[in-house]
Every structure is written in C-alpha cells, then in structure tokens.
Amino acid sequence: MTSPLRGADAGAPPDSTTDGFEVLRELALNLRSSWNHRADALWEQIDPEMWRETGNPWLVVQSASPTRLRDLWATSHFRESAEGLQEARHRALSGKTWFSGEDGGKAVGTVAFFSMEYALSEALPIYSGGLGQVAGDYLKTASDLGVPLVGVGLLYQQGYFRQAIDADGAQREFLPFNEVSQLPLVPVRDADGGRVRVLLPRARVPVWLRAWEARVGRVPLYLLDSNDPANAPADRGITAQLYGGGPEVRLMQEMALGIGGWRLLRALGITPDVCHLNEGHATLAALERAREFMREGGHPFDVAVAATRVGNVFTTHTPVESGFDRFPRALVEAYLGAYVVDELGIALDAFLALGRARPEDSHEPLNMAWLATRLSGAVNAVSLRHEQVSRRIFQVLFPRCPEAEVPVGHVTNGVHVPSWDSADADTLWTTACGSERWQGTMEGVGPGIAACSDADLWAFRSSARARLVPFVRERLARQLAAAGVTGEPLAAAGRVLDRDTLTIGLARRFTDYKRPTLLLRDTERLARILRQSRRPVQVVVAGKAHPRDERGKALVQEWVRFARRGDVRGAAVFLADYDLKLAEHIVQGVDVWINTPRPPWEACGTSGMKVLVNGGINLSARDGWWAEAYRENVGWVLDGDGHDDDSDSARLYELLEREVVPSFYERDAQGVPRSWVTRMRASMASLTPTYSANRAVREYTERYYIPASKAFANRSVDGAQGAVRIAAWERAMREHWPSLRFGDVRVVTEPGHHRFEVTVYLEDVDPDSVSVELYADGEPDSGPVRVGMRRDAPLVGARGFVYVADVPDTRPSSHFTPRLTPLHREVAIPLEVPLLTWAR
C-alpha cells in the first residue's frame, strides 16, 4: 500500500508536482492539525476566508490556484515555515511515546478499533454526537501515546444533518453531500497501485466497498463506502447517511463496518491481536474474525469462537436495553443467511441463539449487544454508574447470576484535552506543567496547575469569557441573516452577551431524557436570574434534535423562543448547528457547564469534561461521569431521581441563586472571587487529568488490550490447541451440567463460626472442573461474600463428594447459600460459560 500522504487520486490541482505542494499536502492530509494548531497561520496565508469558514487545510490547499501556491512557496518565510512544520511533525510522530517506553508495550501487536462514527474534525463530517466524539478523541489520544491502533469506520456521502432555525424558531434539517475529493482522505491502494476494494457477502448480489484512509497523527483510520459504480443503485446508498434508513440499511451498514472492515484489514496485511468493538454496531467484526480463523486453521465454529473471543473487547455506551440494535429473523436470513450457513458452517438458528437472551425463543430478534457479549472476552461500560446500570441490563444473559457478578466492568470515558483547550489554556498549562503534559502518565499535572496563583487563574478565565463574546455575536448574526432577519433585530446580535457577566453553557443533543429545557420550567424565575442588575447571568445554548424526534425539536423551539423574548434578549442566545467548531468555542468560554440528564440515562456524557481544562466548572445531575467525579469543592450537583422535573428545576434555580451566582460575584479588594477560583483550581487540578482520554486509553491498554493479546496468543498457538481444549471442555460442561445437583446441606454453629457440610453429586463432571462455594449478598458498603468450600470425603455408592467450609458467625448462617460454578483457570466465568447451580 502506498503512503497515505503520496497516494494518487488525492485531488491535487494541476501542476502540483513541486516539492512545495508535497510538503503542504503532507501537512494538510494529517488530521493532527485538528488539535496541533502550529500550522494554522500557514493555511490562513493561503486563503483566509476558506480557512475561516471550513477549518479544512486540505480544502484550502486544493482550492488555491497553482500560481498562488507557487508564489507563496517562492517566499522564504512561507517556505521555511512549512518545511519547519513538516520537520517538527516528523520528529513528533517518530519520537518515543508512553507505549514504546513501557516494559510491557510490545505485548500488544495491533489493536483494531471499530466504530460507526468518528468526530475528528469539521473537515471530515462523519459523526453525529457523543459516540463519535469519544471515538475521535480516542484515536487522537492513541496517536499521542503511541498505542498501535488502527481505526475502522464508514465514509458517509451525507454524514449527519446540518441544522438551521427558521423564523418561527423551528429546527430545519439539511443534508449536504460530502465531496470526497475535498475531504482529508486518500484512496487505499495495493502494492501495485490498484484501488483496494473488498467484497461484502450477501445472499443474492454481492456488494463492493471502496476503501479510504485518513491519517490521525500516528493512527490510520480506514473508511469504507459502498458508492462504487459496480454496485446496484440501492447498494450504492448503503453508506449514504449516518444512521439513515430503516433496519435493512442499518444491518447492511453494520455488515459493511464489521465484515467489510475486518476483510479490509486482512487485505492490507494487518492482523490485529485485539478487536475493540465500540458499541454493538461493530459486532460483526468479531464474527468475521472467527470465520477467518476457521478458514485459515480448518477449525469448526466453536473452536474459532473459543480462540478469538478472548481477543475481543466490547464497549457498550447504551444506558437502556431498548437502545440496542435488533434485527428480525427474516432480515438476518435474507442478508446473513448464506454467510452463516456456508461460511460459518452452522445453522441459522444456532447463530440467532447467540444474539438472544433466551436462545430457544424463535420469536426473539437478533440483539447485537447480546451477540457482541457472547463473542467477546471482556465487556465494559463507560462510567461507574453506567457499569451498575449495564449489569442490570445484561443480567438477562446471566439469569442465575447475582447482579453484582454480571461480567461488565467499566472504563470511564475521557476527552482528548489538546483538542478542547484554548490557546490561552494551552499557554497556562504549558507554563505550569510543561509541554509534554498529556503525552505520558501525567504525574505532576495536578500539582502544577494547583500552584497557579488566584490572580493568574482569574485573569485566564476572564480572558476566555471575553473571547467567547465576539464569536457568539458573529455566529448569531450569520444565523439570523440566513433566516431572513433584517433591521434592528439583526443589529441587536452585535450586542448580545457581556464579557464580565457570569456565562452558563448548555449544549447537547436535544432529546427528552437529557431534559435540555429543565431551566425553562419557570421562565419568569429564569428571566429574573438573567437580568439582575448587580449580578447578571447569561446563557449560551446549542443542540440538535434528531430529524424524527418531534419532541426533541419542540424542545429546541422552546429555547429559541425564550431567547427571543424582549426581557432576556442579549442574555440568552441559542446558536444553531451544534458541531465541533461551535462546541470548541463554547467549552472554552463559559464559566459554568450545566447538564441535566434524567438519571440513570446518561451513560457517561463527555461535554462537561471539555470545560475542565479551560477553567469551567460543572453543575450537573448526579449521573454518568459526574456521579463519580463530583465532590463539593469541584462543582455543584443536582440531586434527585429525575422523576419530578418541577422539583429538580426548582433545585437548579436555588443552586444558581444561592451558590453559583454569589460565588462568582463576591470579590476581594483585587477584584478576584476567591471562593470561585478555589473551586475552579480544584476542578482543573483534580478532574482534568482524571477525565482525559489519556487516562482512558492507558486504562484500556493495561486492563484490556495487553491481557486480551496474551490470551488470544495462548489459545491460538500450536494449531490452536488451547482453543481446541477449551471448546471441548465447554461442550462437555454444557452437556453434563444439568445432571449436577446438591444433596443434603448441613450447618453446625459452633463458637465463632458456622460449619457447612454440603453433598454434591457431580456425575460425569470432573471435580477439578467445578467450584463449590458459599455465597452471601453484600451488606451496605460491602460487596458479596464468597467462601470457597473444600472437597472432602467422596460419596459412597454415587459420583460426588462432601464439601466443607467454615464461616464466621458474624452473620446468620441463613445468609449463605452453597452454589456450583464451572472452574477453568483459562476461561472467564461466567462471561464465556454462564453456568450456575444453587442449592435449593
């Protein structure tokens, strides 16, 4: 495959073979420019207007005439600047990293990260919201840390919709096309220079997928699209729109991502050790991995699953079971039936059973989250609170398992800090903590920023707020002009907000569970808060509702109409078309970030994390990441179970009136709000490093990737003998487990302890393949108690043993129940083999 920076057909203008164009092209085609802004001045010199409007270096370079580029290159200042940037980038991308410096770093070969969307830059609009932003920040951080990761996704012809607000305050949607030649992508080519295409299996007509590459620092991101001229018209539209169409299109998109994506990696000679499924959309990558293992080793499906699943990590981002993708049997049979029967060698019903909570229920659809769980060696949620919620959701797959033991862990999401910090924030943190602060393990980052003076922190925050004001005014004026507003209402856009006023940010996807209008439950009270003469407040609001979410669109309209009220005009602003660029400006400028989801529906939420580096303080419901992050000295919490919006909104108003606003305006003789700055410092120092993607990526690497890589290697070496043995053991356990049973349970209470003696009939099961233990539910502030029982005397005239154990008499003996679980030192129980028998 040719270098992504020198592949043909990249849309270069005529006569672009000069060294100068190649340097500019290399710089422009690497999305590192979305978080490292050293080259910004270069793009502005080429075309200031194009750069300001698009933020797309590659489009700036392509739009310039060859004459313009030659003239600029002829000037020593421009040329030396470009060449210096190129050299600096080469040094940065080839230097030592956290991963290369770790003793265990070489324990992982390649990690393949599959996601339906990525929010990397407005130059590549292939994202919708939170899932994409997490994925985009993840790739950027993997590049910073040197983790050997490749991304896989889809290239959408339309991406997600753009939003406009009409004269009545209603949301309107537009779907501009992504012109591929203007995106920072190159076609993927093989060693002979030919375009790489992969064939997607389908029952009747196969589908060709084209491959493109985006470079994210060190990390390649491969994107597939179905808009190949060899495909039928309907099939060319499979990747037309992110989350567009019905179940049929969604299933085909997931086939393209998972099956097509894995096949692309193998066509490029990439053999991942670890496959990371970012949400259930990517599940079919694990299935294709198993199929390939079958083909290469001549193994049956169950052996291939036993070998490969330990190398798969499944991350769920969904806080409600109804949010998982489901597909009816008829649809699965139409599109995957031949693949399952002919290439996996199993019956369709056997495959469907893997994606059902009740495998025997022929009416239950295929659930991609259940399928991902059964094809993975680890499952994790995206916050501590979400882990607890997910255990309740996933317990249906482990019906005899206590909720506390449902095998779902968590890695709390984080944000790529360099993508969200302002120029002033970067200067402040660099002075306090050094230029490499986000590149390693971040020791010293917290103490460094904590040592900043109150005066410096307050000056930094005031400057950030002042920079937001002209941006909002310009953006609002353009928004109103586009809606046909003229005269004084348009002129008034140039007077909104004030640089010295407490500024609140509220921006998110507008949907009912996020309660974006909780601040509007009592509009008169909010208006009084905003227009206080001595302690005024202003609020900047942004967000989109899904085109089919009429309730969400009504919530948008509520905010737009409130912002147009004469008594709050200038203090409340709704900005349309919430995207990465708008989000960046808001999180950099606001003093307080408000988030009001209905607990426990916020899986994590990362928007509030983005204000941390910029000195913003969070006021959020106790849900998602804030449930674990909140402490009294770092922000404010909105308590409540989310069932009474009137009560919650009243509490929100009280927090603003009694705590937030006074803290901001109570100043010392130097004009510094000491209590505010104290809270701001604590938030910056303790939360910014903890809720950075740096911490999250290192946690995934150490807790999941390295163990998964080792486990896959152990099961797949020597003709996969390890997997063969484990598959045979699993078959035997599933076959014979129903015959296992408990006999008598005897308890003798003696001073200081209870002695349990339990009769267990094992029949044909090897006693070394089972664990017998006593289980007691956890008490307040403690987890469950498990006490292993010792195998004692064999039974006479039966196949089994007596098991014994002593437990302290600090709890009644009735709290403890004997149980049987499978036991194998190389198998994750109950994730891989969810068998469990309790004594009656």
Report the predicted TM-score, pTM, of the whole model to 2 decimal places: 0.95
Element (H, E) at 293: helix 284-297
Q: Provide mean pLDDT across the span 790-819.
A: 95
CB atoms near residue 297 (< 10 Å): 16
Contacts of 731 (CB under 8 A, 6+ apart): 302
Q: Report the C-alpha dihedral over residues 454, 460, 463, 468, rounded to 10 degrees.
A: -120
CATH classification (class only), 98-166+184-413+701-716: alpha beta
Contacts of 271 (CB under 8 A, 6+ apart): 109, 110, 265
Reported as a single tens digit per residue, the pLDDT across 712-755 is: 999 999 999 999 999 999 999 999 999 999 999 999 999 999 99
- Would you list the domain boundaries of the chain? 19-94, 98-166+184-413+701-716, 417-436+446-690, 740-838
pLDDT at 108: 87
pLDDT at 491: 94
- Residue 151: pLDDT above 90? yes
Cα angle for residues 416, 419, 423 (degrees, 5° grid): 130
First to last CA, the chain: 62
Q: Residue type at 2?
A: T
Q: Are 379 and 408 in contact (CB under 8 A)?
A: yes
DSSP state of 226: -
Distance, C-alpha 329 to centroid of its chain: 29
pLDDT at 781: 78
Q: Provide mean pLDDT across the span 501-513.
A: 95
Q: Is 759 left (phi over 0), alpha (psi -120 to 50) or beta?
A: beta
- Residue 110: pLDDT above 80? yes
Q: Provide mean pLDDT across the span 166-190.
A: 93
Q: Provide mean pLDDT across the span 593-599.
A: 96
Q: Are 114 and 257 in contact (CB under 8 A)?
A: yes
pLDDT at 12: 42
- Maximum average pLDDT range among 156-160, 485-489, 701-705: 701-705
pLDDT at 5: 38
Token couple for 712:
């896959």
Asked whether the bond before 830 is cis by omega within 30 degrees of 0, the reply is: yes
Cα angle for residues 829, 834, 835 (degrees, 5° grid): 105
CB atoms near residue 77 (< 10 Å): 9
Q: Provide mean pLDDT across the span 299-303.
A: 97
Q: Residue type at 767?
A: P
Provide the β-strand partners of residue 636: 619
Q: Give the integer Cα–Cα distance in Å for 716 and 395.
A: 30
Element (H, E) at 743: strand 741-750
Element (H, E) at 528: helix 523-530
* 417 closest CA partner among 688, 671, 146: 688
Token couple for 264:
């692309």
Q: How many CA atoms lie within 13 Å of 409's alpha carbon, on the beta-carbon side?
A: 12
Q: How far is CA 819 from CA 88, 115, 837, in A?
A: 62, 39, 6
Low-confidence winner among 173-177, 299-303, 349-353, 683-687 (lowest mean pLDDT): 173-177
- Banded model confidence at residue 2, pLDDT cuts 50, 70, 90: very low
- Banded model confidence at residue 203, pLDDT cuts 50, 70, 90: low
pLDDT at 104: 45
Q: Is 149 helix (H, G, I), strand (E, B) or coil?
A: strand
From the options 3.40.50.2000, 3.30.300.30, 3.65.10.10, 1.20.1600.10, give the CATH code of 417-436+446-690: 3.40.50.2000
Reported as a single tens digit per residue, the pLDDT across 67-90 is: 999 999 999 999 999 999 999 999
CATH classification (class only), 740-838: mainly beta
Per-position b or e across 305-339, b if 16+ CB within 10 A of its CB: bbbbbbbbbbbbbbbeeeebbbbebebbbbbbbeb
Q: Give the integer Cα–Cα distance in Å for 513 and 510.
A: 9
Reported as a single tens digit per residue, the pLDDT across 526-554 is: 999 999 999 999 999 999 999 999 999 99
Q: Residue type at 505?
A: G
pLDDT at 13: 42
The answer to whether the 98-166+184-413+701-716 and 740-838 domains have the same CATH topology is no
